[in-house]
Structure 1
Amino acid sequence: MTAFFALKQDEFVPAPHARSPWSPDMLHGRLLGGLAARAIEADSGEGLVPARLTVDLFRNSPLLPLAVETVRVRDGRRIRVVDAVISSEQGPVARASGVFLRAGEQPEGAHQDTPAWDETPPTKDPEPSGDWEPPFHLWRLTDWQETGPRRAWMRERHLLVDDEPLSPFVRAALAADFASPMSNMSSTGLHFINADYTLTLSRLPEGDALGMESSGHLSAGGVATGQCVLHDERGPVGFCLVTAVANAVPIGTR
């Protein structure tokens, strides 16, 4: 299917299906994270692996062409830090920071490892749920009206830019935004819109299906924080942490 963006003269022109579920004329925040990851990865060089991506979604963006600029903040032998700013004709709409580390020999010793879950990626497309349908495949493995941990598998249905294949890092960055509804959903729907999210990785995910498992939520006075574990078929690969603010127009229970 059509990519979310077409690259024209160094600008990313969004397609209509790049809209947010919060508003039909608003760009989906997860796509800003995807563009940031794509640009930061391209500027990271070779020999290092992505360990962290933080995306600040400080301004809602209409469906306008976007430009992405990057700068290397630190360029060391074992660590590289790359920042990105995403702007439209109205000014900056988001910023991001990526940390890349040099892989080496794994130290000996036991750790308090996050356990793998017992879910395998689905082989069939999900059935339509009759309510909001995301622009990616989503398999809900638990009852989202319950307040306990939620589990889901996700798989992208669209490319990000033109006909470019999605890299594992970009795929993880797109999925990480979904930690907000996964962790901040309540029994009456989603009442929080995320202001930022941070993805941390111990390794790059494998395959095109990514699993998300909520592992915590705290909120008071309309300010929330939530966290999730990101999985691939082999097991857990990293964590997703979000902050969010109460929104006057909730999304119904999914």
Structure 2
Amino acid sequence: MTSAFFTWTGAEFAPAPHARSPWSPDMLHGRLLGGLAARALEEVYGDPGMQFARLTVDLFRNSPMLPITVDTELVRDGRRIRVADATIRTEQGVIGRAGAVLLRKGEQPGGDRLVTPAWDESPPDGPPPADGAWTPPFDLWRLTEWGERGRRRVWMRENRPLVDGEDVSPFVRAALAADFASPLSGMDSGGLQFINADYTLTLARLPEGEVIGMDATGHLSAEGVAAGQCTVHDAAGPVGYCVVTAIANPTAINRPPARG
């Protein structure tokens, strides 16, 4: 693991130079905002007896390379459900928000039901191949080509801490990977023509291990508005889903940035 994206100063998260977005050298990487929100929500409201079942991250304003603060608020705390929000800020104001739903774990019911099958892709063996056109700030194994028709698949692995001195938890790992659902589902032969405004990650269980697989299973668009979806996997099988909404990008990007 190399140096972290952020250092905690005691009051805010100071970004390292490599926290910048591929969209602009003066912009923070959007996926990291979702990671910081997930980290804060887990730190305050995480409970071994409850499952983070949903995380929605709204990325409604580009963030400059400035220190970040994340404030959390408990919305509802019941016997079986807990709801909490996070607000992401810089000195220039609010740049994003997130909402999480935690559900109480319990006895698994019996019976037959529709189950998403495990995909037929083995976990990566060895380092990711070099890609001179675009080097993401995480390990990436492309299992399909970006612009090919049909489903697109990747394995991903974080290769540095989000915050200095901290391990990346399974929940934060999933939140960081989820942002990639936008470029993975929305990329076509003309490039990345939609930029995402949010993403919603749903989890039946937390991912195990360091690698997360993303399987783009659908994309729809009309009049410049799009929706995309991915199934999220770990080495043992599917763990949840990610849905993104996006708006037409005036200038298509030929290679997918990490923030869709």
Partner of 2:184: 182
Aligned residues: 254
Partner of 1:31: 32
> TM-score if structure 2 supplies the norm length?
0.95
Partner of 1:4: 5
- Match of 1:174, SS state, is helix
- Counterparts in 2 of 1:166-205, with a 5 A limit? 166-205=168-207
Identical columns (%): 66
Partner of 1:59: 61
Contact 2:134 2:255 in 1 (8 A): no
Partner of 2:154: 152
Deviating beyond 4 angstroms after TM superposition, the runs of 4 or more aligned structure 1 residues are: none
Partner of 1:18: 19
Partner of 2:100: 98
Partner of 1:134: 136
Q: Which amino acid aligns with 1:41?
A: E
Quick one: distance in 2 between partners of 1:45 and 1:210? 21
- Match of 1:43, SS state, is helix
Quick one: distance in 2 between partners of 1:165 and 1:9? 18
- Match of 2:176, SS state, is helix
RMSD, aligned CA: 1.0
Shift of 1:141: 0.4
- Counterparts in 2 of 1:44-123, with a 5 A limit? 44-46=45-47, 47-123=49-125
Q: Which amino acid aligns with 1:102?
A: R
Among 153, 161, 164, the alignment partner of 1:162 is: 164
Contact 1:187 1:253 in 2 (8 A): no
Quick one: distance in 2 between partners of 1:45 and 1:230? 21
- Counterparts in 2 of 1:222-233, with a 5 A limit? 222-233=224-235
Quick one: distance in 2 between partners of 1:143 and 1:128? 14
Contact 1:52 1:201 in 2 (8 A): yes
Q: Which amino acid aligns with 2:30?
A: G
Q: Which amino acid aligns with 1:88?
A: T
Contact 2:55 2:202 in 1 (8 A): yes
Shift of 1:160: 0.2
Instruction: Give unmatched runs, 5+ long, in structure 1.
Output: none
CA deviations over 1:186-207 (Å, ceiling 9, x no partner): 1121121110000000000000
CA deviations over 1:186-230 (Å, ceiling 9, x no partner): 112112111000000000000000000001000112111100000
Quick one: distance in 1 between partners of 2:232 and 2:161? 20
Partner of 1:42: 43
Q: Which amino acid aligns with 2:18?
A: H
Shift of 1:253: 3.7
